[in-house]
Every structure is written in C-alpha cells, then in structure tokens.
Structure 1
Amino acid sequence: MTQGHPPAPGWTGGPPPAPGQPWPAYPPPPPRSRRKLWIGLAAGALALAVGAGALVGVGLGLRDDEEGAAPKAAAAANGVTVTDAELTALLDRHGRALAARDLDGWLAAFDPARRDLVAAQTRLFRNLGKLPLSVARYETVERQGRATDAFGQGVTFQLDVSFVHQLDGFDLAPVTEWYRWTVVRPAKDAPIRVTAVTGAPAAADGSSKTVYYPGPWDRWPEIHVERTPHTLVIADSDRAALAKRYAPAAEAAAVHDLAVWRSGGLPGPAPRGVVIALAEGRDEMGSLYRIGTRKATEAGFSMPMVAAERRDGRFTIGGSRVVVDTETPYFARTGGANDAGMVFRHEVAHSLVTPRTNLTEVDAFDTLDEWVVEGFAEYVAFHSRPLGDSERTAAARRLLRSWNGKLPDDGDWDNPDLVSFHYWLGHTAMNHLAETYGEPKLFRFVDAVYAGTPTDRAARDVLGVSLDEFQAGWADDVRAQARWTGSETTQ
C-alpha cells in the first residue's frame, strides 16, 4: 500500500503550481503511489520465509543434509566443519550479550582482526542500547554455502540472520530485520568468526534489495532518541536538535490520531505509539528499513513490519516504522496547518490501521484500493477540519473541470501529475462516507477492506449500497461542494 505522503500541490516558498501539476518547480518530480514500494518489501520477506519452509524466528534449517554422509565422516576425521548446534549457540550468546549490555560478549562473534567491522558493530551495540527493546534475539534464517570441508582447507559461508526485536510500547509483536553474516572457520577446532555483516537480500522482484535493513541504528554511527509518551523519534546524533524540535509535533500528531482512532470503536489491539525516523533528504529516506530499487519521492512513509512469528498460523503485522524527509517544504515552513504536523498525522494514521490487515486475504496489500488507504489517512490527518484546510483543495477543484466523476482505480495512481488530486479524491470520499453514513460505518468499512473484503462487497455489507451508488452520491457531493457550474469552479 502507499502508506506514504506525497508532496502537496504547492508551498509558499515558490510560484503557485499550474493546473494539473501537484508540485511546483521543486525537484524531484511528484511521487507515484507508494503501495507497490512497500508491497515489494513485504512480499519479498514473505516469499523468502515461505519459500524456505517456515517463518523467520522459527529457524529454517542449514541444509547439512545436502552434504552427504561421506563428506561428514571425512570431515569428522581430519576436515573442518561448522555444525548447526554451534551456529545456534553463537546466535544465542550474541543475543544474551545484547540483553546484558555486555559489549565484550557481543563482539566475541566478530573477527578481531577486522577492525572496521569491530568498530561498526561497537557502534551498533551502543545504538541498540538506546532503544526500549523488550525482545532482542538472533535466529537463523538460512545458510548459503557449505559448512564442511573434508580436506582441512577451512570453510567460509554466508549465514542469513534474523534480528527479532520488539520496541516496548510501540510494537504489537516482535518484528525482524535480516542480516547476512560471512562466517569463517579457518581450520579444524579454530573458533568461528564473523568477518563481514550486511543486509540479507530480499526477493529479486521486490522494491527493496534487503529485508527491513538498514535500520537507523545500522545506518547512523550514533543515533539520538527523543521519546515522548506516544512516539519514539530517532535521528542521526548530528541532528539531535532537530529531533528535539519536531518531537512535540510528532507527539501531538500521535495524540490526535489515537483519539480519532479510539472514537471509531473498532475492537482489538492498536499500537500505543509510533516509531519515527527523521531522514535528511530523499536518498537517505530511501535507504532506511530498505535499500530501494528506485528513488524515493514521497515526503514520508509508514513501513508495515511483518511479525517475526505467525499468530494462529497466519502472518500478521507486528508494528510499523515511519520515516519522514525533513528536507521537504513541509518541514521548511513554520506555523501553517499543513506543515510537519500534517505529515506526521497522515503517516501515524497509516500506522494505526495497518495492523488490521489480513495478509492472507489481501495478498501482501496488493488488493487494497488506494483511494481507501490514502483517503483514510487524509481523513484522519484533517479530522474535524474543513476540506479547505488541505492545500490540495485549490488545485483539485481546478481539475474537476475534466474529472470523470469516478473513484481513481489503482492504475490511475501511477500518473505523477494526478497523484495529489487522487489523494484529495480519496479524502473527499471518506468525508462523504462519514457525513452520509456516520463515522462508525467509515471505520467499519475501512476495517473490512483491510481485512480482505473487496471494496464493492464492503460497501454493500457496511453501507448498504453498491459501490456504484456510493460513487454517484459522492461525485454529486464533490461537485456541489466545489460549486460546479459547468463552466467554472469557484473556491
């Protein structure tokens, strides 16, 4: 799903946008929908896990059976081998050292001769110590390469490792980040050493080359963590002042959205808080919790995190990670209703509804209608405010002259010139739904869609009308609000 926030149609730092252009002369170009970006990452993680035979966190096997009985027997006599039990013990010790704040124990896994590696892992250890980790352990995903050499030449292979972790007060369940360790045993009875660490690769056809890697704790040499009652704001330590500056806005956004969410009355757990990273520029934003296969263009996104363990045999969402680009105009302006707080509110709204997703039914979010996903986030972000407060409104009303009166389908979101207009249409659709059928039904409708009910059936089940009937009433409402005359649109 998109789970993101595109640039607004205009901002005070430049000339007004031309009709049909959701962004003035401000590079890079306006974004596509983000739905496929996140789908690629989630689907990649799920495909890797399922293809290997089990979900990460359970242990996927090390393929020792492929090596055969004869090489094992020879290796036992004079060869070199690394057993499953040794790798499990290595990961167990690593996790226990982190929990005990034992730096020496943590570094024991790494080759002391690799000074750059030891320095990097020391920084990572200290960064992780700043997080409220209620769960932190390391488990095997899969091994790549042979762990046995019958001729005493030593072995080198890659071990994909799951960092299973839960941020206390923020994640509903433990989530995961995948690393790839290069493991070496140079000779028989020599200690096992890790000589390199990077992100484990994701599925080849995904939108990220890695699985939830790198976290801010991996990317930045030193993180600064600013905690409020409902947010965990993470920034590079060089930008600690910025984290302090925006933490109150992030907290206000979380409080606002949580109040709106609770008023919806949906049963079941919801996150009590949100984790937010402050990126400096689009390149950095595109390389947090992912290594993107295309350039990031959004102003922010909410990354759903697949839980590390199945619940009742099903994949679920264990939490989310919000990232915002503080170089966008939203963060350059001050004092307006459409500034940083609006981006935070939009992304927090995504984070609150995402755990409702039935990953089995919606095929890793690929069947969720974009207008529902983004319209709901805009609705929550501007809750109790007039539509005119959205700076998308002026440009959107101009576009109504050529509008076909229909909800944008998912293919429409690939048109960069109309992305902001489609966000606005989703917003107005949610406004119309709440005003016509009542806000409780809005929440029930959105919940049904996230649970995997096709949108047209959700309309019949929850609203009591067909989707076509809903669309017709909404289109009339939009045109009436815009004072449509057939020749001009007033504002």
Structure 2
Amino acid sequence: MTQGHPPAAGWPPPGNADPRYGAAPPPGQPTPWGPPPPAPKSRRGLWIGLAAGALALALCAGTAVGVGLGLRGDDEDGPAPKAAAGANGVTVTDAELAALLDRHSKALAAKDLDGYLAAFDPDRKDLIAGQTQLFRNLMKLPLSVARYEMLEKQGRVSDAFGQGVTFQLDVSFVHQLDGFDLAPVAEWYRWTIVRAGKDAPIRVVAVTGASAGGNGDSKTVYYPGPWDKWRDIHVERTAYALIITDAARADLAVRYALAVDRSVTDSLAVWRANAPPEPMTDKFVVTFAAGKDEMTSLYRIGTEKATEAGYSVGMVAAERKNGKATIGGTRIVVDTTDRYFTRSGGDNDARMVLRHEMAHSLMTLRTDLTAVDEFSKLDEWVVEGFAEYIAFSGRPLTASARTAPSLQLVRNGWNGKLPGNSDWDNPGMLTFHYWLGHTAMTHLADKHGEPKLFRFVEAVYAGTPTDRAARDVLGVSLDDFQAGWADYVRAQAG
C-alpha cells in the first residue's frame, strides 16, 4: 500500500514524489504463493504511502502551495505591456486574471452553472461539456471551502502589434471537504488563456493538470481528482467516511460502506487502546478505483503504471500554519478489482487493505513537515511494518498470507537483518520484507508493549532517526532490538 503529499516545481510529485513514497508495486506474489511476477518498476510493495513526495514538492524552492508563486509571464508593469497599451496593443493584466478567478469562485459558491462556464470559450463544445460535468460533480461534494487562485503564468501576456496573446495560467483549486479535511488543500490546474484582440474577452480554451516538475512519479499536482476523471461521480457518506466512485459503480460504494466504517473503528480502537494522543481525525476520504489504469490516474498522473492494491495520499495544506507547512487531509484510493481486495469473496480482505491505508493516513496527519529531510529517509520496515500491524491487529501472524512463504525463506537461510531501504528495490522480495516489518512490530509490541510501539513509530515519523528512537523509546540500541527480533523470527520458523 502507499502513503503521499502535493508537489511544487523542483521536487517529485504528489504521492509518489519521493521515490520512497512512490506508487507501490503489488505484493510480490499472489496467493497461492508462486514464483514472483516480473519486476515492477516502482519501489514500494502492496500498499505504501504516497505522502512524503507531494509534501516535498509543496515545500521546495519557495513555491509551496499557499505561499504565492512568482509569475513567469511578462511583467505587467514592464515595457512590453506598456507598449501593448497603445492603440493596437493586446495585453492581459494580473488584475484581470484575479478578477476572472474571483468570478469563477463566486459562481461555484452560488451554484451558478452559467456563471461558472463564463470563463470558458463557448465555441469549444468539448471543453464546455467537460466543465459542466465538473461543476455538477463538485456540487455533490461537502465543500466548506472552494476557490480558485492564481499560481503562475507561462508565455507572452502582451503583444504590441495587436496579434492577440495565448499563454498558460496555473490555477490552484483550494478546497476543503467539510468534516474530513483539517484544512483547505489544493489541486493544480493549467488553463490555456486566449485574448484574440484588444477589446476581446479573456477566454479559457483548454484545461489540464498543472505540471508537477521534478523527477517524481506523478506528472501533476493532485490532478485529476475523481470529480475531474469521471463523467459522473457517486458520493456515499457514512458515519466515518466519504466514499467516492464512478457513478456507474455506485453499487460498490453501497456494498463496501460497512467495511469502510468497520475499518475506521477497528483502526481507531487499536489506537485508543494504547493511549497515544487522540487521532486528529476519525473520518476518511476513500476513492474506489477499478483496475491499475485508474489507480495510476487518481490524485496523480503516474509516470509508471500502478501495481499497488491501495495507497494513501497526504495533502499538504494550502496555507501555512504559524509559518509551517502542515498536512490538511488525506485521500485513500483502493483498487476494488485487486485480488487482495476480493479474494475471499467477503469484506475481510477489503478491511485489511483499508486498515493498512488508514494506518498510513493516521500517521501522515501527525507528521511534522519541518522534518521533511528526515521524513524522506524513513525506514520502510517501520512505515510498512506498522501499517501491516494495524491491518492484522487482533489476528495471529499466521493470518497473513505472507507468513508461510516467508517462514520458508527463513528456514532456507536468512541473515537476521532488518531490511534496509535499498533492499526494497528487489521486487521478488517485497512480500518477505513486508512480513519482516510486520514481525518487527509484533515483536516490539510483545516485548515492550503496544503503547511503546506507537510512541516509537510516532518518533520515527517525526523525523527521529530510527536508532535514536529505539534508544529513547525502547531503552535499547537498534542492534540489540534487531538481535532479539531475529531470535523471535527464527523461533516462528521452528
């Protein structure tokens, strides 16, 4: 499974920006455990966590969401716009663009479709149809905040000879799902703007996702949302979740609603039983995808096809809090066609996948983003081991389908070491590494108690190096912990 954040130019993109938090490959082998499949290209196994990458993007190079980006188009006070202000000149000023976005925001708030469409070229029928569908989808969401803000423009905004101008404007859709997001978050669009002549109106002639930049695993910044991707969305609101799916598959949202709510209550029960600080939220946004193509293109456009069963995206807040970037909310996406979601025919496997992603989301919300450098180096065995521990909480280690093949690998000869982050690059061993992380958390809880397990994982997420977290929280060196855990693992193998 997976964990993720939003991007800004120069860093990897949302969810998959940091390679460690990229799209997750599948669980090494399906059940039954046969030979490993061809090596997936992305690093993480079954369900990672996308959060860190997008976060990195949002924090880099002074282009964080909510900080106000520089405009790369012509300076409206420079010589080109002044020349364009002549008798035949054409120009588009920042004030005009701000007014356009303000009208667009107000139309959305007023549920005024005609006003919302006024920004778009009426002759572009496909564009008008697409924006009409987007408007109707947005009307189905519990939006307490919804506004459009200017990020940056690219291209010539002025022409002194009256030839008209065409340029691109990156637009931030700042929004907050009421009761689910802790703070407003942002999705980035790229609008193509045209002014055909001096007295012509400003028209948007094309809309796509703004480029994330950098070398990450997503080409865009939280785009497309389900509201962009599907012609018609279905929104199922439960006591603990907002489930979003293609309206053509609304029956799945109804079918799995109870499983989603049970997954929330199961995860929170484990959390609260161990007296860590209260979770920052008990409600989650869950999107159902059908297949890996959809997994690759929800809240991101992946540079490689997804292979994971689910992922959790951490959304960086659109505005800083006390000068610091924070997580405003999370988005969980699961593939309802994946064998790990459907193999039993009931909802038990679905709940396992969901609990794993909720564990990522709960920890992501608590992450101190000032520790971004350390966060990008989190040990996989801690991140994924904790999520697996929560996924299987209350069930024996043998309940995991990873256990039997992993024990055989231990019997065949094993070095007794915790898997380092570079080890996760070996796709044929992902199942084993997930299991080793799971057993490390199980051993930690058995020896030191679940409250210390939570404190240890929180310390790591907060940027404390794992060896120091072991000393501070567990009272042992990481080497001593590893030695005791290796004995525990070998004992499981008989």
Q: Decide: shared fold, TM above 0.5.
A: yes
> In structure 2, which of residues 204, 209, 216 is the aligned counterpart of residue 206 of structure 1?
216
> In structure 2, which of residues 438, 442, 446 is the aligned counterpart of residue 427 of structure 1?
438
Question: Which residue in the other structure is 2:81 paired with?
Answer: 72
Question: Which residue in the other structure is 1:277 paired with?
Answer: 287
Letter paired with 1:32: R
Letter paired with 1:315: A
* SS of 2:79 mapped into structure 1: helix
Letter paired with 2:66: G
* SS of 2:170 mapped into structure 1: strand
Report the CA distance between 1:6 and its aligned residue.
3.7
- Please report the TM-score for the alignment, with normalisation by the length of structure 2: 0.90
Equivalent residues of 1:45, 1:203 under 8 A apart: no
The CA distance in 2 between the partners of 1:55 and 1:43, in whole Å, is: 9
The CA distance in 1 between the partners of 2:42 and 2:160, in whole Å, is: 54
* SS of 1:195 mapped into structure 2: strand
Question: Which residue in the other structure is 2:482 paired with?
Answer: 471
> In structure 2, which of residues 129, 132, 152 is the aligned counterpart of residue 122 of structure 1?
132
Equivalent residues of 2:309, 2:341 under 8 A apart: no
User: Unaligned 5+ residue runs, structure 2?
Assistant: 4-23
Equivalent residues of 1:7, 1:31 under 8 A apart: no
> In structure 2, which of residues 330, 334, 341 is the aligned counterpart of residue 331 of structure 1?
341
The CA distance in 2 between the partners of 1:113 and 1:55, in whole Å, is: 35
The CA distance in 1 between the partners of 2:114 and 2:273, in whole Å, is: 49
The CA distance in 2 between the partners of 1:83 and 1:378, in whole Å, is: 53
Query: Which deviates more, 312-321 or 371-380?
Result: 312-321
> In structure 1, which of residues 57, 61, 64 is the aligned counterpart of residue 66 of structure 2?
57
Report the CA distance between 1:268 and its aligned residue.
6.0
Equivalent residues of 1:58, 1:139 under 8 A apart: no
Question: Which residue in the other structure is 1:487 paired with?
Answer: none
Equivalent residues of 2:375, 2:462 under 8 A apart: no
Question: Which residue in the other structure is 1:156 paired with?
Answer: 166
Provide closer, same or farther for how the CA distance between residues 372 and 131 of structure 1 changes in structure 2, counting only shifts above 3 A.
same
Deviation sequence 1:154-212 (CA, Å, 0-9, x none): 11110000111111121111111100000111111321110000000012311111111
Query: Which deviates more, 168-177 or 121-130?
Result: 168-177
Equivalent residues of 2:256, 2:347 under 8 A apart: no
The CA distance in 2 between the partners of 1:246 and 1:64, in whole Å, is: 48
Report the CA distance between 1:44 and its aligned residue.
3.4
* SS of 2:481 mapped into structure 1: helix
Deviation sequence 1:1-32 (CA, Å, 0-9, x none): 94358437443xxxx324xx4x5x7x896973
The CA distance in 2 between the partners of 1:87 and 1:276, in whole Å, is: 34
The CA distance in 1 between the partners of 2:256 and 2:285, in whole Å, is: 13
Report the CA distance between 1:71 and its aligned residue.
2.4
Question: Which residue in the other structure is 1:17 paired with?
Answer: 33
The CA distance in 2 between the partners of 1:230 and 1:364, in whole Å, is: 32
Report the CA distance between 1:278 and its aligned residue.
1.0
Q: Does 1:190 align with 2:210?
A: no
> In structure 1, which of residues 145, 149, 152 is the aligned counterpart of residue 155 of structure 2?
145
Question: Which residue in the other structure is 2:323 paired with?
Answer: 313
Aligned length: 470
Question: Which residue in the other structure is 1:44 paired with?
Answer: 57
* SS of 1:339 mapped into structure 2: helix
Report the CA distance between 1:65 and its aligned residue.
6.4
Provide closer, same or farther for how the CA distance between residues 80 and 30 of structure 1 changes in structure 2, counting only shifts above 3 A.
closer
Provide closer, same or farther for how the CA distance between residues 32 and 61 of structure 1 changes in structure 2, counting only shifts above 3 A.
closer
The CA distance in 1 between the partners of 2:439 and 2:137, in whole Å, is: 43
Report the CA distance between 1:66 and its aligned residue.
4.1
Report the CA distance between 1:261 and its aligned residue.
2.1
Letter paired with 1:77: G
Question: Which residue in the other structure is 1:410 paired with?
Answer: 421
Deviation sequence 1:283-336 (CA, Å, 0-9, x none): 110111111111211111111111111122222211111111111112333356
Report the CA distance between 1:96 and its aligned residue.
1.4
Equivalent residues of 1:147, 1:157 under 8 A apart: yes
Q: Does 1:453 align with 2:464?
A: yes
Question: Which residue in the other structure is 1:7 paired with?
Answer: 27
Report the CA distance between 1:59 and its aligned residue.
2.9
Report the CA distance between 1:41 and its aligned residue.
4.0
* SS of 2:407 mapped into structure 1: helix
The CA distance in 2 between the partners of 1:64 and 1:299, in whole Å, is: 42
Letter paired with 2:378: L
Report the CA distance between 1:38 and its aligned residue.
5.5
The CA distance in 2 between the partners of 1:286 and 1:64, in whole Å, is: 32
Equivalent residues of 2:407, 2:492 under 8 A apart: no
Report the CA distance between 1:423 and its aligned residue.
0.8
Equivalent residues of 1:44, 1:206 under 8 A apart: no
Equivalent residues of 1:200, 1:211 under 8 A apart: yes
Q: Does 1:224 align with 2:245?
A: no
Report the CA distance between 1:262 and its aligned residue.
2.5
Report the CA distance between 1:80 and its aligned residue.
1.2
Question: Which residue in the other structure is 2:190 paired with?
Answer: 180
* SS of 1:141 mapped into structure 2: strand
The CA distance in 2 between the partners of 1:302 and 1:396, in whole Å, is: 26
* SS of 1:447 mapped into structure 2: helix
Equivalent residues of 2:374, 2:463 under 8 A apart: no
* SS of 1:327 mapped into structure 2: coil
The CA distance in 2 between the partners of 1:8 and 1:204, in whole Å, is: 29
Question: Which residue in the other structure is 1:348 paired with?
Answer: 358
Question: Which residue in the other structure is 2:15 paired with?
Answer: none
> In structure 1, which of residues 359, 367, 384 is the aligned counterpart of residue 394 of structure 2?
384
* SS of 1:201 mapped into structure 2: coil
The CA distance in 2 between the partners of 1:335 and 1:65, in whole Å, is: 59
- Tell me the C-alpha RMSD between the 2 structures: 2.2
Correspondences of 1:232-311 after superposition (within 5 Å) = 232-267=242-277, 270-311=280-321
Query: Which deviates more, 67-76 or 33-42?
Result: 33-42
The CA distance in 1 between the partners of 2:257 and 2:41, in whole Å, is: 27
Deviation sequence 1:41-90 (CA, Å, 0-9, x none): 4433433xxx3x34323432435664664323222222111111111111
Q: Does 1:362 align with 2:372?
A: yes
* SS of 2:219 mapped into structure 1: coil
Equivalent residues of 1:6, 1:300 under 8 A apart: no
Question: Which residue in the other structure is 1:94 paired with?
Answer: 104
Equivalent residues of 1:169, 1:272 under 8 A apart: no
The CA distance in 2 between the partners of 1:128 and 1:37, in whole Å, is: 24
Equivalent residues of 2:185, 2:317 under 8 A apart: yes
Query: Which deviates more, 411-420 or 338-347?
Result: 338-347
The CA distance in 2 between the partners of 1:268 and 1:108, in whole Å, is: 46
